[in-house]
Chain A
């Protein structure tokens, strides 16, 4: 069989139903096989977008996302998406064409050492040096990408190997990689010690992250939390694993987290970190992070344990396997349910006195926070929401109120502007029956706005809600607060005309400037067939609060001006 066809068969054997990409010189022979492949190929307009679409696909649907590019610039365009998938642990396989094997190392046309360039950003990578390796490498790539702590895997295939004739048999046997054996079960002795520590904690808190969503352990988390009066906070990446409407939920923590969540971390005597990695946006000043707390750290990646914050009780394992064991062990203990009363009384007081707050609009101006609340209203809180990076991302995380996992898809670790629209395309392809919305900003959206063409031609009806404030808002906020309002490189002016731009691509463009029209316009966008972009003119110089300034401790959090105590 031609190796390019064997590659398509191999992808099919791994369960691939959709892939994203762009052809070029080096992967031309592969794209000839794409014509007859048994899965859908979505042609994006930029390789970076193909990569982010693969990420959105993986995050919304839970399956491995796949993106193709050609050699050289096609492959280097993928790098941002690969790095993004690495930092957010997104299971993805990237297949790049490479110049002919005889040209490698000669600086041939469109040659780039993509394997070398991506070494810091991949979970693993394969350089094909013989066409017969392709079926095995594909099988191994999907295994590595999707097991353990998920991540991106790169497969680089020189052009001539696609044309080679190879024997093909579907690979169904389990992958055996001698250097790759993720521990999943969790040490039962450690789990017992953790249960006993929990039983003695008077001020415990669950700090949950993206690992709970990647590990499909949302139900298991809810069960554990229901074992007692355990309060739960979540990272940006973990939102939706625990329902935002629950009384036990304290909101998001970290730089723009709630007062209650951050103060609870500051005062806790026991933190149970579940699939979270103590990122600097969570800890703030490391020396003053959670000064009273002992740490139980549950993670599938042993290298995360004690990397930033020392763990008193480390548990290496898959959260989906560890959490039910911890629940069982905890429930078997005699516990004093009254021991957390004082803690809850404090938490409730904080919640009541320090809610998320913004000054309401008085003159019809649209507050960005109310835009997110209105989106929640018109979508019944059930939409898949992707976002770009910046103020709109934080407001979306704070105000949408995610009830279910895999509904909130954003670039958390790398913070990639331009992620939102292509990720929404991927999410919609993965979940065609769901309403997929993208909350974006005028700084971010334009970075991959060409993908409106993909939405139109590939018939991917995503709804883009653009928070248009005329600035790179988050950078402007930092310049205002920390650089004496010397605005530098953040003003975006009135270009483009977003409605005309949407129409030029063949999408529907809507605009709303008055709060009175907001809900109706958003509802119309949701109800309109096909891709829609809504240009929403929001307050220009609104800031995201609360905020812990970089390098500060949680106690030094600044709350929204105007919040009445």
Chain B
């Protein structure tokens, strides 16, 4: 028997691996920090019909490299095909499909809510429960900063919306692999 290969290969035993994972994926993409690279990545997604759910771009510890974190739905898109297409871009250096169990993912959101004086105590209470920060107070509004998983931010939004959500902005998730024991 040849090393590592089965002695017999029966055609009926051959299988194609499944294409759709059915869950959300976070891709961490290291790219060369050059003009136009984001356009190449974004253009690839649009022309291949892949939908980006969130996208965050920023510098890394190496000034020649930027990190793109994007999330997309593995129930709709074959992630393997997405990463292989991304790898064809010459400016893409490395792609990591983050394992949910081994990843710390965070997103930040700012909520501007209408806050009449009689409602402020309740809003501050919500903020406390979510470990959110009040970052601005005006005569009629309060602005709250929330950091956490996408689920947590969405939960906060559901709580605060009945008070009158004036404006909301989210960064999109960023993620990093957990340290090993």
Contact = CB atoms under 8 A, between A and B. Distances in A.
B157 interface: no
Nearest to B92: A179
A504 to B, nearest CB: 42
Interface in B1-47: 2, 4-6, 8-11, 14-17, 19, 31-32, 35-36, 39-40, 43, 47
A180 B90 contact: yes
Interface string A298-334: 0001110111001111000000000000000000000
Nearest to A312: B14
B5 A303 contact: no
B178 interface: no
A189 interface: yes
A119 B81 contact: no
A386 to B, nearest CB: 28
B139 to A, nearest CB: 42
A449 to B, nearest CB: 32
A180 B35 CA distance: 18
Interface of A is mostly: mixed
A127 interface: yes
Nearest to A194: B9
B80 interface: yes
B152 to A, nearest CB: 35
B84 A302 contact: yes
A269 B11 contact: yes
B87 interface: yes
A214 to B, nearest CB: 16
Contact of A306 (B11, B19, B39, B91): B19
A192 B16 contact: no
B5 A177 contact: no
A129 B34 CA distance: 11
Contacts, number: 75
A144 interface: yes
Contacts of B11: 197, 200-201, 269-270, 294
A560 interface: no
B35 A196 contact: no
Nearest to B30: A179
Interface string A182-204: 00000001001100110111000
Nearest to A178: B93
Nearest to A144: B90
B102 to A, nearest CB: 25
B81 A307 contact: yes
A180 B92 CA distance: 8
Contacts of B32: 178-179
A302 B87 contact: yes
B40 A119 contact: yes
Given A294-B11, A312-B16, A192 B39 contact: no
**Interface size classification for chain A:** 35 or more
A120 interface: yes
Given A115-B36, A201-B11, A177 B87 contact: no
B19 A189 contact: no
B9 to A, nearest CB: 4
Interface in B51-93: 78, 80-81, 84-85, 87-93
Contacts of B43: 119-120
B19 A310 contact: yes
A361 B131 CA distance: 86
A28 to B, nearest CB: 26
A116 interface: yes
Contact of A127 (B36, B80, B93): B36
A289 B8 CA distance: 27
B88 A193 contact: no
Interface string A107-148: 000000001100110011001010000000000000010000
B19 A179 contact: no
Nearest to B31: A179
Contacts of A193: 5-6, 9
Given A306-B19, A310-B19, A197 B81 contact: no
A177 B92 CA distance: 10
Contacts of A124: 90
Contact of A196 (B5, B16, B90): B5
Given A119-B40, A303-B84, A311 B16 contact: yes
Given A144-B90, A193-B9, A197-B11, A119 B84 contact: no
Interface of A: 115-116, 119-120, 123-124, 127, 129, 144, 177-180, 189, 192-193, 196-197, 199-201, 269-270, 294-295, 301-303, 305-307, 310-313
Interface of B: 2, 4-6, 8-11, 14-17, 19, 31-32, 35-36, 39-40, 43, 47, 78, 80-81, 84-85, 87-93
22 contacts: A119-B39, A123-B90, A124-B90, A127-B35, A129-B35, A144-B90, A179-B90, A179-B92, A189-B4, A189-B5, A192-B2, A193-B6, A196-B5, A196-B9, A197-B9, A270-B11, A294-B11, A295-B16, A301-B88, A302-B87, A306-B16, A310-B16
Given A127-B35, A179-B32, A301-B88, 11 more contacts: A119-B36, A119-B40, A123-B90, A127-B36, A177-B90, A178-B93, A192-B2, A193-B6, A193-B9, A294-B11, A306-B19
